[in-house]
């Protein structure tokens, strides 16, 4: 494809994403390229990078276009992104030349509006803080309360593209064997610093079609998610419940730490998510997992109360910790989402806690960086449940079979961020049941798969 044709395709893809506001951009892009198989891998990469460059800078681009008196649309967004990242107006006009497969000519009105952007950069001192940081207005106070003076640096790191993290499946081979297998595919991967099973590949690479992935030797999983899985410390012969299993990303990691022994129950309210886990389990060579569909009014959890050694709650959340990986999620997140999620998380935590035996552990996790979904949830739970105590991170880390060295953060909780740890934003708390469970009525709250 010519450079102009790539720009035209980026405009078309951006329009498709804008036309499906509730659908993740990745899913829209997958459909877009699946229906255009004539687009080669290099062109796909260039089109995606251009499109995601717009998405990552969306609030700032909108601000610049508003200053120019323009009504935002995909065509002007792409043109503005080109100008504000170093292109000249003449260069943009040449690419919008109306040639074969390229964008149509810039009108005189478009040139006039875009002309004011030439020689500028994406940032401007007059921008409101939320615009400059690329976050929704309503969430800014919550982020400032979480990060304080480090807010700008943390959001800058959140705005950078995420690397591709893989988890080596030690049921199939070692990390060095996996590196060698990937190298044979032309993919260089480096060990991650925190996870003992992690491999990191810079940029976006297609690994799912290669033999290392197809044979189950590696699985796509952010290093932060891997660390959380290790912190659960699920061991052979244990009974483990993954209460918000989703498509089974952490279930796979737990089965691996259990060496395919013991018994895992992967629970979720979604049949498609649980069914989707089957293929992953088979590929990984995992056979100690039972899937369970949570249904309203079911007595399943009540009958199994206080019978699990480990219960993982990877709770549904705002996903604010994944914005570097899913920058479009910022535009879909509303204040009402947080207001609805907080009581839902509390209900899920309450329900899952009843499964934990005395001496067993409940691990609460989110891929959020907001205090309301993390520390505040744990503190409220502990205040209402004197039969549980918080296991400090340093203690849980030292006891975990696969973790070594000091934990990456101080304090009682696992709190990871892209800036400080190179992972997605993750939160984890380890709670131990020290008293007997009190019999209570079955809750109405339901899990809805975690973030893998």
Tell me: the pLDDT tens digits for 326-350?
A: 999 998 999 999 999 999 999 999 9
Work out the mean pLDDT of the chain and round it to a whole number: 93
**What are 426's strand-pairing partners?**
416
Query: Which tokens sit at 367?
Result: 């891929």
Query: Which tokens sit at 449?
Result: 């798969």
What's the fold here for domain 164-220?
Answer: Alpha-Beta Plaits (3.30.70)
Is pLDDT above 60 for 79?
A: yes
For residue 444, the model assigns a pLDDT of 43
Which CATH architecture group holds 223-433? 3-Layer(aba) Sandwich (3.40)
pLDDT in tens, 196-226: 999 999 887 889 999 999 999 999 999 999 9
**What are 199's strand-pairing partners?**
166, 191
pTM (predicted TM-score): 0.92
Give CA–CA dist 395/310, Å, rounded.
Answer: 16
Q: Return the higher-pLDDT residue of 141 and 203.
A: 141
Is pLDDT above 60 for 442?
A: no
What's the fold here for domain 3-127?
Answer: N-utilizing Substance Protein B Homolog; Chain A (1.10.940)
Average pLDDT over residues 382-401: 97
367 noted as active-site residue = yes
Dihedral angle sign, alpha carbons of residues 235, 236, 241, 246: positive
How many Å from the N-terminal Cα to the C-terminal Cα in the chain?
A: 35
**What are 428's strand-pairing partners?**
365, 414
| Equal CATH topology for 3-127 and 164-220 | no
For residue 22, the model assigns a pLDDT of 87
- Tell me what percent of the residues of the chain surpass a pLDDT of 90: 86
Task: Give helix then strand counts, H and E, for the chain.
Answer: 21, 12
For residue 447, the model assigns a pLDDT of 52
Give CA–CA dist 446/304, Å, rounded.
Answer: 16
What's the helix, strand, coil split of the chain in %, to 5?
45, 15, 40
pLDDT in tens, 83-140: 999 999 999 999 998 878 899 999 999 999 999 999 999 999 999 999 999 999 999 9
Domain ranges of the chain: 3-127, 164-220, 223-433
């Amino acid at each position: 494809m010519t450079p102009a044709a790539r720009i035209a395709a980026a405009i078309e893809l951006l329009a498709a994403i804008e036309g499906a506001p509730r659908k993740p951009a990745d899913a829209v892009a997958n459909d877009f390229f699946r229906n255009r198989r004539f687009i080669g891998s290099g062109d796909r990469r260039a089109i995606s990078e251009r499109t995601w460059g717009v998405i990552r800078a969306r609030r700032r681009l909108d601000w610049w276009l508003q200053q120019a008196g323009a009504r935002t649309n995909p065509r002007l967004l792409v043109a503005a992104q080109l100008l504000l990242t170093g292109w000249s107006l003449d260069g943009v006009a040449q690419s919008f030349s109306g040639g074969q497969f390229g964008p149509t000519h810039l009108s005189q009105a478009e040139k006039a509006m875009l002309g004011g952007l030439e020689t500028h950069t994406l940032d401007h001192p007059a921008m409101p803080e939320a615009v400059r940081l690329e976050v929704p207005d309503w969430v800014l106070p919550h982020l400032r309360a979480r990060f304080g003076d480090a807010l700008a640096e943390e959001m800058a790191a959140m705005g950078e593209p995420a690397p591709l993290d893989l988890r080596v499946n030690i049921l199939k081979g070692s990390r060095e064997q996996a590196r060698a297998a990937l190298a044979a595919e032309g993919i260089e991967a480096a060990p991650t610093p925190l996870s003992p099973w992690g491999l990191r590949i810079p940029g976006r690479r297609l690994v799912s079609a290669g033999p290392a992935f197809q044979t189950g030797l590696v699985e796509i999983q952010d290093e932060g998610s891997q660390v959380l899985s290790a912190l659960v410390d699920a061991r052979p012969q244990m009974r483990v419940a993954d209460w918000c299993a989703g498509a089974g990303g952490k279930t796979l990691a737990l089965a691996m730490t259990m060496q395919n022994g013991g018994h895992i129950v992967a629970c979720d309210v979604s049949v498609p998510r649980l069914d989707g886990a089957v293929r992953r389990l088979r590929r990984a060579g995992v056979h100690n997992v039972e899937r369970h569909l949570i249904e309203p009014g079911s007595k399943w959890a009540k009958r199994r109360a206080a019978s699990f050694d480990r219960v993982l709650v990877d709770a549904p959340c705002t996903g604010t910790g994944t914005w570097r990986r899913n920058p479009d999620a910022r535009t879909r997140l509303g204040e009402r989402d947080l207001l609805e999620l907080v009581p839902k998380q509390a209900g899920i935590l309450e329900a899952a806690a009843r499964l934990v035996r005395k001496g067993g552990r409940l691990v609460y996790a989110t891929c959020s960086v907001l205090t309301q979904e993390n520390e505040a949830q744990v503190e409220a739970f502990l205040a209402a449940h004197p039969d549980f105590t918080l296991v400090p991170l340093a203690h849980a880390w030292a006891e975990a079979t696969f973790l070594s060295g000091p934990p990456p953060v101080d304090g009682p909780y696992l709190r990871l961020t892209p800036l400080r740890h190179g992972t997605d934003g993750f939160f984890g708390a380890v709670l131990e049941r020290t008293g007997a469970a009190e019999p209570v009525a079955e809750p109405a709250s339901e899990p809805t798969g975690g973030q893998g």
